Amino acid sequence: AVVVVGSCMTDLVSLTARLPKIGETIHGHKFFIGFGGKGANQCVQAARLGAKTSMVCKVGKDSFGNDYIENLKQNGISTEFTYQTKDAATGAASIIVNDEGQNIIVIVAGANLLLNTEDLREAASVISRAKVMVCQLEITPATSLEALTMARNCGVKTLFNPAPAIADLAPQFYALSDVFCCNESEAEILTGLTVSSPEEAGKAALVLLRRGCQVVVITLGAEGCMMVSQTDPVPKHVHTEKVKAVDTTGAGDSFVGALAFYLAYHPHLSLEEMLQRSNRIAAVSVQTAGTQTSYPFKEDLPPTLF
């Protein structure tokens, strides 16, 4: 099974011809609510590929929280350790997108920041029974660190996605990561290097590897990803397919969710093969609009991926 310790966010999206100025009220032409948050996105993708999944997270005791729990359940995800709190609202992202696709976004993490180490201890049974634990940085770093520590102590494989990245990430995060997976801009923040080509990503991956991860993967959008590991410390480029990208929002989360699925359910595949398949799944997700709405189900994918 895959357990995700991470975030849930409600996306409130307004589409407008142009972005409003300060103090201005304008009419938009469309509004929709989407389910987001890196943790839940990754969990949904893993679940849709057939993983047994649990989401350890915190939402508000409000209608967005109730709706989010319903969304997790509809994706077949266990919500036994999805907590609801009266002390904060469900995490929300207010997003305005203009006709050129430019956006302004305000994220209020809310209840996500109240997920604490006591909650994790309550969820210890589900963490210890998992094959793979996934976490990110949309909850407090102390909670992520405790989740990684608990997983490591139980021999559960850890997949850490340091997003959104912070420049002074505590060294324990690297040591506790079996697989450390980030995108180019996160790699830049973490290493201070410029990362805009596969070669540069390879160099950054080596820097991150030396901090103590077992495996480092840096995703490169349409270029696929770079991988490097302690057992094979020569950076390798894993290409993806050429597709017509419609909306790349959440592609990284689709990739991480797919990788979690392969680590848990196809552990005998080579790392390169897992990444090739994760690339293919994320490439499907960029071909339709939305975040979770664009994530493919097992039934939509070629059987050779399973």
Q: Which residues bind ligand ADP (CB under 6 A)?
A: 183, 219-222, 224-225, 240, 243, 245, 248, 251-252, 255, 279, 282-283, 286
Say whether 117 counts as a known binding-site residue: no
**Is 6 assigned a ligand-binding role in the annotation?**
no
- Is 223 annotated to bind a ligand? Reply is yes
Q: For residues 219 and 204, what is the distance between their CA atoms, to the nearest angstrom? A: 12
SS (H, E, C) 231-290: CCCCCEEECCCCCCCCCCCCHHHHHHHHHHHHHHHCCCCCHHHHHHHHHHHHHHHCCCCC
For residue 223, the minimal CB distance to ligand ADP (Å) is 8
Q: How far is CA 258 from CA 19, 252, 282, in A?
A: 35, 10, 8
Closest residue to ligand ADP, Cβ-based?
A: 252
CA distance linking residue 87 with residue 140, whole number of Å: 16
The nearest distance, CB 234 to ligand ADP, in angstroms, is: 19
Query: Annotated binding residue at 291?
Result: no
Q: Identify which of residues 101 and 155 has a Cβ nearer to ligand ADP in the complex.
A: 101
Q: Are strands 132-135 and 2-5 parallel, antiparallel or unpaired?
A: parallel
- 7 versus 183: smaller Cβ distance to ligand ADP: 183
* Known catalytic membership, residue 300: no
Least separation in angstroms between residue 5's CB and ligand ADP is 19
Q: Is 298 annotated as a binding residue?
A: no
Q: Do the annotations mark residue 66 as ligand-binding?
A: no
Active-site residue, selected from the candidate residues 67, 119, 253, 300: 253
Specify the residue, 124 or 245, whose C-beta has the smaller distance to ligand ADP: 245
Per the CB < 8 A criterion, the answer to whether 26 and 18 are in contact is: yes
Would you say 62 or 188 has its CB closer to ligand ADP? Answer: 188
Of the pair 211, 237, the CB lying nearest ligand ADP is at 237
Which tokens sit at 6?
């991470």
- Region of residue 256 (phi > 0: left; psi between -120 and 50: alpha; otherwise: beta): alpha
Closest separation in Å from C-beta 47 to ligand ADP: 18
CB atoms near residue 107 (< 10 Å): 18
* Angle at alpha carbon of residue 24, lines to 18 and 30, rounded to 5°: 45
User: What b/e readout covers 59-81, taking b as 16+ CB neighbours within 10 angstroms?
Assistant: bbebebbeebbebbeebebbbeb
Q: How far is the CB of 253 from ligand ADP (least distance, A)?
A: 7
Residues designated as active site: 253
Q: Which residues are annotated as a binding site?
A: 9-11, 37-41, 138, 183, 219-224, 240, 247, 249, 252-253, 279, 285, 288, 290, 294
Q: Which residues are annotated as a binding site for substrate?
A: 9-11, 37-41, 138, 253
Q: Which residues are annotated as a binding site for K(+)?
A: 247, 249, 285, 288, 290, 294
